[in-house]
Amino acid sequence: MARNVTLSKPLPINYFGIETSDGSGNDILAEGLPAIAADQRYIFDGGQFGGLSKKLEKPLEVEITYDYRNPIGIKRKRKEFCILSVNHIQSMPSRISAEQAIVESLKGPNTTTLQKIQEELVSINTSLHEIVQSQSDVRPNK
């Protein structure tokens, strides 16, 4: 368990805009977090490339400090460094929206989790229809 988690700079979230910033966004966790359990995650939507690149014109270097207890129970303090940047994805294509990516994954040639879920739902639906049909065949006609 990490306690008294502090960040040297707040983190950017919700900075939207595909090619240019749309003016949105917030900075969060300036005051840090009281505690984070082992394997606990906080997931935030940073935004889109245009918005984040405007906010992070140069890489954001963040120092993270926290207290923890080692395996024998002695209290320790640790510092870690993290660099946030979006410059490395500047030339990557973003040709479709997230919604379109889901549609393409459902009808694409590569098996995806969504396709497996769809196949299971079709199988369940077929089984339910067979059960209903068998129940109606068993009932005597009045």
Domain boundaries, the chain: 1-92, 96-142
Residue 40, C-beta contacts closer than 8 angstroms, at least 6 positions apart: none
Please spell the DSSP secondary structure of 38-97, one letter per residue: TT-------B-HHHHHHHTSS-EEEEEEEEEE-TT--EEEEEEEEEE--GGGTTS---S-
Reported as a single tens digit per residue, the pLDDT across 26-48 is 888 888 889 999 888 888 888 88
- Quote the pTM value: 0.57
In this predicted model, what pLDDT tens digit does every residue of 96-136 receive, in sequence order?
A: 666 666 677 667 666 667 678 888 999 999 999 988 888 87
